[in-house]
Amino acid sequence: MPPLGHLHMEHVLQAVGVLEAVILRSFGPEGGQVLFTRDTGQVLLSRSGTRILTALHLEHPFARMVVECVWKHSSATGDGSKTFILLLASLLRLIHAAASKGSNVSHSYSSTKAAEAATARHLADKLLAFGLKELDELIATGVVPYGGCISWEDFTVEAQTSSLTNNLCVQKLLRSFFHTRCGYTHCDFSSHLTCELLSHWNFKNQLPSFSLQLVSDYFPALHTPVSGFPVRSSRLIEGQVIHRDFATPPLKTDHQPVKAVVLTGSLQPTLLSTGDVLELGYRGRMKEERSILHFSSWMESSLQGVIAKLQTLGVCVLLSAVKQSAAVLALATQAEMCLVECVSEDELSLFSQLSGTTPIWDCSMIESEHVATLAFCRPIQLGAHRYKKHTSITIKPCSLIICAPGEGQIEQYACALQDAIRMLLRTWEPMLAAATTTSKSTLQSHKGASLHTDSLTEQTPYRSIAIQPIQKPGCVLSAGGLFELLLHYALLQHGHSCSVSPDLNIDASVSQLLANALLSVPQKIYSHSPKFPNDSHPFSLGDKLSKVSELDLGLESVSCKYQLLLAVLQCVASLLKVDAVLPTHTALHTQSRRLARTSWEDTEDEGEG
């Protein structure tokens, strides 16, 4: 890439504008799916913003920076990648407009562009400082009272069939999430499957975040992809599935309790360690105690001793992280032990956590605390592959079978399910609960407020609300731009109070700028509806909320929205701190260039600079 020299706001806007144009095709309730065609000819349809952005071949460094920020945010919260781009583009345009009006050439700057860049950088820093200091309180006072809370009981199968107050349940939250990721077709089925999975992994005397974190961390080990079947064939099965087949014949009795051991090393003793020397002869004579036959006999007897000790402990299932030798397979088969080789680290870690045992490296040191008791251990046929399935005595795990006609669709649904778990985990993080100074009503009393728009009109005063040190996890709000509208109104009122009271030492223009940027999200959502009011005047808020209530788009997490705003503000500040782009050659490019120039006698070191 040629040197770009000094960069200006136009470069940032151009790069982000291209990403926005791509995202807008799949944004909102009327958004469609994007068709991907890979180099192999494989075709995939997706509505996932992260998948769409990461699939692009980007050369511009600003575009790559933005996609990296989106990917990090999506990896943490599982949601919000498309809204991230829209808010980012809106903020940058407003900052550019404000910087163009308020910047003047002075002795400190050589040109108008430099003055605009400095003003924009200053605005971005003020926005980030405002978001880190004031945003959480504004959300707690101006947004949270119009939402509600989901409870952990909503994850149980019994709660899914019952009628909950205002229908504020996790099913509705997940349904709206899967609709934005996979479309209408399977959103109900996917939300029910996710609730069923979480209800099975519900641990007594543990916080909900513990179960969500466990499922999120071990999701690769908890699900099994099966291609060639419809999506609705996806289901839960009892036990943990080890995605490897038996290296020795499986057990003949698969219903009685069996004992298992996790191995992280080779069962056969090592002949020589690194740096050791095997002396085969001494001055022309063979030393009997150091002959190769002696070492071979010693290894065989040691291996037989290890197998005998395992039999003494009643072990008949061996889970190995490495490939074992032929001698180990032969002796294990002779001892009627089933062996599973090359088990992944995630699956062994999950097995150890569920069984409460510790993996062992040297089986000669094995004790009873290294032995796990399983309710059963047997092979299972899933599609074209055969795996091992087991379950422990104390904890009854379950595994998720994800079916789809093609591998690409399986990957898409698996990513959506994992992101849904991350979104729920972020939703369950504690939020500040707000209560008015004149009322003792808590957040639960405001559950139905978002369904009625007559409670918030132009005559509604901005109430003085005190933040109580109460942790309130699971806060949700009606989807469809309600969060942005409420926060937009709260920011305008906050800016008005700051302008009236200059002692607060807060720039009201920052609050106004962020409020206008937030309004772009509901405008994009309802861009197909000509009746949606597009002005940013606070008096039209009641009309806008009325329009939001007409469409039942489900629920969305307040905590995820808060994290999204902070991530966007941090991304804006990072982008506007860049003054110039200097192209360099990476190590990979340097090596490829050197290989291409092998005929040259003198090759410069392109890795420098």
Question: Both 134 and 190 in a single domain?
Answer: no
Q: What is the model's pLDDT at position 90?
A: 95
User: What is the C-alpha to C-alpha distance for residues 100 and 115, in angstroms, rounded to an integer?
Assistant: 9
What pLDDT sits at residue 93? 94
The DSSP H or E segment spanning 209 is helix 208-217
| pLDDT band for position 115 (cuts 50, 70, 90) | confident
35 in any annotated domain: yes
Q: Is the pLDDT of residue 547 over 70?
A: no
Place of tokens 């504020």: 168
Lowest-confidence pick of 13-17, 52-56, 57-61, 443-447 = 443-447
Query: Are 85 and 206 found together in one domain?
Result: no
Structural domain containing residue 183: 170-238+407-428
Tell me the per-residue pLDDT of 158-204, one tens digit each, with 9 for 90 and over: 444 444 443 347 888 999 899 888 878 888 899 999 989 988 888 77
- Residues 464-497: pLDDT tens digits? 333 343 347 788 888 888 999 999 999 998 887 7
Same domain, 88 and 219: no
Asked whether residue 553 carries a pLDDT value surpassing 90, the answer given is: no
Query: Which of helix, strand or coil describes residue 495?
Result: helix
- The string of pLDDT tens digits covering residues 288-338 is 445 556 666 777 788 888 899 898 898 999 999 999 988 899 999 999 899
Q: Looking at the structure, do residues 34 and 69 belong to the same domain, yes or no?
A: yes
Does one domain contain both 54 and 90? yes
pLDDT tens-digit series, residues 536-546: 444 455 555 55
Are residues 135 and 48 both part of a single domain? Answer: yes
pTM of the predicted structure, to 2 decimals: 0.80
Instruction: Give the domain-ending residue among 363, 396, 428.
Output: 428
- The dihedrals phi and psi of 188, each to the nearest 5 degrees, come to -65, -45
Tell me how many domains the chain contains.
2
Contacts of 321 by beta carbon, 8 Å cutoff, 6+ apart: 262, 263, 264, 265, 342, 343, 345, 348, 359
Give a yes or no: residue 165 inside a domain: no
Domain end residue (candidates: 394, 428, 462): 428
Band (pLDDT 50/70/90 cuts) for residue 431 is: low
**Stretch 432-447: mean pLDDT, rounded?**
35
pLDDT of 595 > 50? The answer is no
pLDDT value at residue 156: 54
Provide φ and ψ at 376, rounded to 5°.
-160, 165
* Beta-carbon contacts of residue 115 (< 8 Å; ≥ 6 apart): 103, 104, 105, 106, 109
In a domain, 258, yes or no: no
Residue 368 within a domain = no
Both 16 and 143 in one domain: the answer is: yes
Pairwise pLDDT comparison (556 vs 113), residue with the higher score: 556
Kindly state whether residues 73 and 204 are assigned to the same domain: no
- In a domain, residue 592? The reply is no
- Write the pLDDT tens digit of every residue in 572-590: 999 998 877 777 665 544 4
16 and 134 together in one domain: yes
Q: Are residues 72 and 145 in the same domain?
A: yes
Strand-pairing partners, residue 467, are 434
Q: Residue 131, class by beta-carbon neighbours within 10 Å (0-12 exposed, 13-18 middle, 19+ buried)?
A: buried
What CATH number should be reported for the domain holding residue 73?
1.10.560.10
Residue 538: per-residue pLDDT: 42
Q: Is 105 a domain residue?
A: yes
Stretch 67-77: mean pLDDT: 93
Does the pLDDT of residue 142 top 70, yes or no? yes
Residue 229: predicted pLDDT:
93
Asked whether residue 570 is domain-assigned, the answer is: yes
Co-location of 120 and 187 in the same domain: no
Q: Tell whether 529 and 481 lie within a shared domain.
A: yes
Residues 6+ apart with CB under 8 A from 64: 58
Q: How many CA atoms lie within 13 A of 250 on its CB side?
A: 16
Name the more confident of 279 and 94: 94
Of the candidate ranges 22-36, 94-108, 172-186, the one whose mean pLDDT is the lowest: 94-108
157 assigned to some structural domain = no
Higher pLDDT, 225 or 41: 225
- pLDDT, residue 384, reads 86
Q: Phi/psi of residue 34, each to 5°?
A: -100, 135
Q: How confident is the model at residue 278 (pLDDT cuts 50, 70, 90)?
A: low
Please check whether residue 475 is in contact with residue 558, taking contact to mean a CB–CB distance below 8 angstroms.
yes
Tabulate helix, strand, coil % of the chain (nearest 5): 50, 15, 35
| Position 101 pLDDT exceeds 50 | yes
